[in-house]
Amino acid sequence: MTLSQAEFDSFRTAQDVPFRIRKIGHVVLRASNLRQSVEFYVRVSGFAISDIYPEKMVPAGMVFMRCNADHHAVA
């Protein structure tokens, strides 16, 4: 399933999220679509990207995201 650009644009930004995740333990998820997963965590859940590992470092790449001052809560 793919989403159109208009559907991506309709996602709430971090400023619009009606809740605040304070702490999540070190969670690493393998996603079949990295871009869509990052879109969800950033636009819907309010996470910020803290680091990106390109494909030359990790097969298929890896994105680290935070919801507080920790380096990352979700990778």
Sketch the domain layout of the chain as residue ranges.
5-66
Q: State residue 59's pLDDT score.
A: 86
- pLDDT, averaged in runs of 10, over the chain (75 residues): 60 69 82 89 87 86 85 84
Q: State residue 1's pLDDT score.
A: 41
Q: State residue 18's pLDDT score.
A: 79
Is-contact 38 49, C-beta < 8 A?
Answer: yes
Is-contact 43 10, C-beta < 8 A?
Answer: no
pTM score over 0.75: no
